[in-house]
């Protein structure tokens, strides 16, 4: 059973006696918080122009929580406020506009647009523009989040489309922004206006290019994840360069972009907003780092810059960014030896000097080597794949561009990358292809492994092809141990033949052995 006070207000909200309106109004002004609330609800329940007029008059005295009670208004109250907007003047009209904006009274939208276009009162015009933009943003946001109110939104769009076409008369770009706030990406009205390539398309693309309105920016950026970017919009996306647009694009890409989004990024090819990619990581919020990696990778960005950003993302350790960086590095494939070789030489030459050694801490290869100990096996595998061309296995390939001198120069770096490299050399010495076995002998010499693999080399020498035996004899000159040197002396004094010549001439004149 309801308390007696609520029963009293139920009666005042339904009695046909119009004096109840004055009583409720007076109660609101003089009673406590509970009675004020019940008075507002009773006036709304009466659903009459007299009650609505009192509510509008009480608006300025209402607290924010009390104003929210009017949120469950009926269509009739919305039309009453719309009439107040249309016929009122001065403070009365301003109050009606504020109510319309606060409660999102869509019934008032046509009148608010009319005032925004042509009112001679600057203050009222400004209030109306604000109200239109606020309602447009709410309608559009709901539509873009699959909570569309199609009938209400379409009525607003049809009226705002008129404002777009007549912008040269009212000069209110805010109303163009309101239209762009209200639309969703698939709206036929929007596509028709853009595809017409007339004045309306020019007006819309101009605002898409320059507007600072968040709803407009969201619309423009959101096309990155849609199946089709309208032709007039594509150059706008490529040329717009502000941080608000860039961040909006990253939010639409997200930490796990769809294949459609990735294809659209490739279709865009380049975007000015992401042109200085090497500086963007530090300027971008951490939750957007993963998206940034996908974007710069798919756009026409220098691979070295993409690599640097990916390494930095892994170093930062954010889960989404680490996953994105690993995926990007895998898709990039092994780094070309032309990039890795100078970095490897720089690191190797610095190891004898503390000052020079500290200078390599920023070298990308050095930073990747440190990530081989990253506490995630997936990252370790990715880094090893990225550095695959800087390895013993890469040297063993018959068509490898790596030379003996290269391997010897950055041998210390190879040991950092793979502590098990000796086993790779042993595997190469047992490979079924002769050329690979010959390269494995070179690798053993370049990496200073002749002495530690001497027994293995003796076994191979005793059984293998002449070409391999020649290589062993020649590359013994790079040994440091007495036993290996003694074996070389023995080969030098052997009966005439290519093996003896190789042992005597060494690697520098190995070609002479084969030409004899």
For residue 81, how many other CB atoms are within 10 A of its CB?
A: 27
**Where do the H-state alpha helices sit in 387-453?**
392-396, 404-409, 411-417, 421-429, 434-446
DSSP class of 361: G
- According to the model, what pLDDT value does residue 52 have? 85
Calpha distance 303→307 (Å, rounded):
6
Rounded mean pLDDT for each run of 10 residues along the chain, 516 residues in total: 70 80 82 85 84 84 85 78 81 86 87 91 91 95 92 94 94 96 96 88 97 98 96 96 97 96 94 91 94 94 92 91 95 92 89 68 90 93 94 90 90 89 93 93 93 93 89 87 89 82 68 51
Q: Which two tokens stand for residue 45?
A: 């329940």
Contacts of 442 (CB under 8 A, 6+ apart): 395, 404, 407, 471, 475
Instruction: Give one word for 254, left, alpha or beta, with left for phi > 0 and alpha for psi -120 to 50.
Output: left
> Helix (H, G, I), strand (E, B), or coil: what is residue 166?
coil
Half-sphere exposure of 469 (CA within 13 A, CB side): 13
Instruction: Give one word for 434, left, alpha or beta, with left for phi > 0 and alpha for psi -120 to 50.
Output: alpha
Calpha distance 339→302 (Å, rounded):
13
Q: Are 98 and 75 in contact (CB under 8 A)?
A: no
Taking Cα atoms as reference points, which of 53, 43, 56, 36 lies closest to residue 13? 43
- According to the model, what pLDDT value does residue 1 have? 42
Calpha distance 236→448 (Å, rounded):
59
> Helix (H, G, I), strand (E, B), or coil: what is residue 245?
helix
Taking Cα atoms as reference points, which of 345, 349, 450 lies closest to residue 402? 345
Calpha distance 419→430 (Å, rounded):
20
- According to the model, what pLDDT value does residue 277 have? 87
Q: Which two tokens stand for residue 509?
A: 């004149």
CA angle 141, 241, 187 (to 5 degrees): 30
Provide Rg for the chain, Cα atoms: 38
Calpha distance 118→137 (Å, rounded):
22
Q: Are 66 and 36 in contact (CB under 8 A)?
A: yes
For residue 212, how many other CB atoms are within 10 A of its CB?
A: 10
- According to the model, what pLDDT value does residue 8 have? 80
Measured between its terminal Cα atoms, the distance across the chain in Å is 117
| CA dihedral of 313, 315, 317, 323, whole degrees rounded to 10 | 50
| CA dihedral of 293, 295, 297, 302, whole degrees rounded to 10 | -100
Calpha distance 362→311 (Å, rounded):
11
Calpha distance 405→388 (Å, rounded):
19
Q: Which two tokens stand for residue 80?
A: 């009453």
Q: Which residues of 155-169 are buried (b: 16+ CB within 10 A; e: fewer)?
A: ebbebbbebbeebee
Calpha distance 387→385 (Å, rounded):
5
Calpha distance 282→361 (Å, rounded):
19
């Amino acid at each position: 059973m309801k308390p007696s006070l609520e029963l009293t207000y139920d009666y005042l909200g339904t009695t046909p006696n119009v004096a109840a309106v004055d009583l409720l109004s007076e109660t609101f002004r003089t009673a406590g918080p509970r009675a004020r609330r019940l008075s507002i609800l009773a006036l709304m329940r009466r659903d009459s122009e007299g009650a609505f007029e009192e509510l509008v008059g009480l608006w300025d005295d209402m607290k924010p929580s009390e104003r929210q009670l009017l949120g469950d208004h009926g269509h009739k109250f919305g039309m009453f406020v719309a009439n107040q907007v249309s016929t009122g003047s001065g403070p009365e009209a301003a109050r009606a506009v504020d109510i319309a904006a606060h409660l999102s009274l869509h019934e008032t939208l046509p009148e608010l647009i009319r005032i925004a276009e042509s009112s001679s009162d600057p203050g009222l015009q400004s209030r109306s523009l604000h109200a239109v933009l606020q309602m447009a943003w709410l309608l559009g946001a709901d539509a873009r989040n699959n909570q569309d109110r199609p009938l209400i939104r379409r009525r607003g769009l049809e009226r705002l489309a008129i404002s777009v076409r007549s912008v040269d008369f009212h000069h209110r770009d805010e109303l163009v922004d309101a239209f762009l706030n209200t639309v969703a990406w698939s709206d036929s009205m929007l596509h028709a206006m853009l595809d017409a390539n007339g004045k309306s398309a020019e007006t819309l693309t101009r605002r898409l290019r320059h507007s600072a309105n968040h709803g407009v920016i969201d619309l423009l950026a959101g096309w990155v994840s849609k199946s089709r970017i309208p032709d007039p919009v594509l150059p706008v996306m490529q040329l717009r360069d502000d941080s608000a647009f860039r961040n909006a694009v990253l939010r639409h890409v997200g930490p796990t972009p769809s294949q459609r989004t990735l294809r659209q990024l490739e279709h865009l090819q380049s975007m000015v907003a992401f042109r200085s990619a090497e500086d963007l990581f530090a300027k971008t919020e951490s939750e957007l780092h993963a998206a940034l990696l996908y974007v710069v990778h798919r756009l026409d960005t220098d691979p070295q810059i993409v690599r640097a950003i990916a390494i930095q993302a892994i170093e930062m350790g954010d889960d989404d960014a680490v996953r994105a960086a690993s995926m990007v590095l895998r898709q990039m494939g092994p780094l070309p030896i032309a990039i890795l070789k100078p970095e490897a030489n720089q690191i190797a030459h610095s190891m004898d000097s503390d000052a020079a050694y500290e200078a390599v801490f920023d070298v990308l290869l050095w930073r990747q080597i440190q990530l081989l100990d990253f506490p995630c096996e997936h990252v370790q595998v990715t880094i090893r794949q990225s550095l695959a061309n800087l390895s013993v296995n890469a040297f063993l390939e018959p068509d490898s561009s790596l030379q003996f001198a290269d391997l010897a120069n950055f041998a210390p770096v190879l040991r950092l990358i793979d502590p098990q490299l000796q086993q790779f050399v042993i595997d190469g010495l047992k490979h079924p292809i002769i050329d690979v076995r010959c390269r494995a002998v070179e690798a053993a010499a370049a990496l200073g492994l002749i002495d530690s693999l001497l027994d293995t080399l003796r076994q191979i020498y005793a059984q293998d092809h002449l070409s391999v035996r020649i290589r062993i004899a020649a590359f013994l000159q790079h040994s440091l141990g007495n036993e290996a040197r003694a074996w070389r002396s023995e080969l030098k004094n052997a009966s005439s033949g290519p093996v003896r010549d190789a042992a005597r001439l060494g690697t520098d004149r190995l070609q002479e052995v084969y030409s004899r």
